Every structure is written in structure tokens, then in C-alpha cells.
Amino acid sequence: MKEPLIDVRAWRQFVAVAEELHFGRASIRLHMTQPPLTQAIAQMERSLGVMLFDRTRRRVALTPAGEALLPDVRDFLERAQALPVRARAAAAGEVGRVRLAFVSTIGFERLPEWVRDFRVLCPQVSLELVEATGDVQRALFSRGELDAGLMLHSPGFAPPELARLAVAEEPLVLALPASHPLALAPRLDLPEVLAEPLVIFPRRIVPSLHDAVFALYHAAGRVPVVAQEAIQMQTIVNLVWGGLGVAWVPESVTQFRREGVVYRGADAFGPAPAKARAKAAKSPAEPLLPVCETSLVWPAALNNPALARFIDFVRERSMAA
């Protein structure tokens, strides 16, 4: 049996009578005459199949059913009154949900700060975070299970099917065991480093960055000797500590302080090989070591006001950085 629908006005009338326990005073409060109010309450009771009031010529009292219902109706009316305000807040992106995936590198510093400050700015927007590599994020997007993602890639190589906002750019640095002879060398010879076993992420995780690392070896006439693959940057650094090889990691990973691991940047290297120097001469602005970029990405059809607000927030933070 389908339950009867009773409009908000009828519930307001019920509350007025329940609080006044007098149809005359309740009708004055509601700015109406008494007979229509009496008829409305009687109609409500018929629709519910439940008596809400005991009526005599001298008194009006709530039945146990009416008394049990009163707190819920008050709560319902309070929430109904707030609906227009909430609707406007949702349209302005002040209320809602953003399902956000992120790569581990952005999680070392920027993301925690952004999440903290955005929650202060928009406390009624729920940020649902999940750590996921780029390939996993693209699968989540394709299934409609993600609103936005922070992806790592080579500059300009964000997924073309997604809108994007570049939020960070950083060079790769070399991670090597502290016990390795190269760890304390005043200057590093790039060909010597490239001869070392390599710990690297699988190509499917970040194809453009994987290719950029391999291009560094090929430009020097080397073929990378991959000793081990790992997905998470922290795992890669731990494998370097274990002596499996050296690794090229984003500079932000240096905030992951692993005792027994040393990080060396481009300034630690001596002159580049002839092929690399010739290439640099044609493009003087091109760095010796590959550069990686982190982008905030989202579906091109942006129909989530809360997400739009988060994008604007990240854009402002990125410009100020």
C-alpha cells in the first residue's frame, strides 16, 4: 500500500496545534480561521489512519502517536526550511562532494596543506581522498568513480581526454645508497651513474616519465639495466636503501628521509656526455636531468560546483607558490 503524502503546510498545522493544544489559538498563530484548521487535522488523521489528538469540549491533548511524532516533525520542518539555503550553497560549490585521487609525490607537502585549508574554507564540502597512480586514476575516471586527480607526468603529457591545471614542476634527482662510493663523490659522472642497476616504476604507471628516464640513458648511448620495478616512490627509495640499485625520483621525494639513502641533484653532475651536450646546445633551456610535472585533472564536462570551487582554490594556491 502506498503511503500518503502530506504537504509541509499540513505538518506546520499539526505542530501549531500540538504546541498550543487549542485549535483557536493555533488558528490565530497560523493566520487562518478555526474550521479549516480543524478539517485539515482531521484529514491528516484519516490519511495516516492514526489519531493524533484526543479532543473533548474542554481540552485538546496529544495521543501517544502524536506525541511520538512531534519531535520528528519539528526536525523535518527545520530541515525543510533550510533547503533553499542549502540549494544555493550547493550551486555555489559550498556544499557537496569531491572524490580526489592523488599520487604519493604530491602527498609529501602540498596536498595535506591544501586539504587542511580547503576544509576550513568549505567545511561542508566532503573531500574523499584515495592514493592512486595515473593508470588507476584513468580507470576510475572511465567508470565515473572519480571527480579529480593529481597526476604525475612529463611536462605537457597529461591525459588528453581530461582538462588539466599544472600545479607543480620539479626535476628528477638521483637516489643512491649512502654506502655507495658515488654517494660521497664531490662530482658525479653521468655515464658512470647510468651504468648502475636501476630501480624504476613500471611504464604503465607514468609512461611519459618512464620514457624520459630511458631517453636520458639512450642520449648517453646506454641501455638501462633495470634491477627492479616498484609502484610507490617510498618503496623505490627503500629498495635503493637495500642496495638493489639507484633510482631517479621527483625532487619532492627527498622529503621522505630514509636513513641510508642519499639524494643528488643536477648540480652534483660533471659535464654531460657529448651527445647530451650537442642536444643541449640546440635547446639551451633544456635541463640535464628530466623534469616531471604534477597536474590536477578532471573530466572536460565539469558539472560539479564543489569541484569547480576546489579547482579555483588549487589554481590560486599554485599561482601563489
Rounded Cα distance between 228 and 130, Å, is: 26
276 bridge partner residues: none
User: Region 54-63: what's the mean pLDDT?
Assistant: 89
Tell me the average pLDDT of the chain: 88
291 bridge partner residues: 171
285 has pLDDT over 80: no
89 has pLDDT over 50: yes
> pLDDT tens digits for 237-284?
999 999 999 999 999 999 888 899 999 998 888 655 445 444 544 444
User: Region 141-156: what's the mean pLDDT?
Assistant: 94
Region for 93 from its dihedrals, namely left if φ exceeds 0, alpha if ψ lies in -120 to 50, beta otherwise:
left
The reported pTM is: 0.69
Q: How many other β-carbons are positioned within 10 Å of the β-carbon of residue 242? A: 13
What pLDDT is recorded for position 1? 52
What pLDDT is recorded for position 250? 94
Q: What top-level class would CATH report for the domain 96-167+293-320?
A: alpha beta
What pLDDT is recorded for position 7? 85
> pLDDT tens digits for 101-110?
999 889 877 8
The CATH H-level superfamily of 170-291 is Periplasmic binding protein-like II (3.40.190.10)
Instruction: Give residue 320's pLDDT band: very low, low, confident or very high (50, 70, 90).
Output: confident
299 has pLDDT over 80: yes
The answer to whether domain 8-91 and domain 170-291 are alike in fold is no
What pLDDT is recorded for position 95? 76
For the chain, domain boundaries: 8-91, 96-167+293-320, 170-291
User: Region 114-138: what's the mean pLDDT?
Assistant: 93
Q: What is the SS3 assignment for 305?
A: helix
Fold for 8-91, please state it.
Arc Repressor Mutant, subunit A (1.10.10)
CA neighbor of 119 nearest in space, from 298, 305, 303, 313? 313
**Sequence-separated (6 or more) residues with CB below 8 Å from residue 134:** 103, 149, 151, 152, 153, 159, 205, 206
User: Region 102-120: what's the mean pLDDT?
Assistant: 90
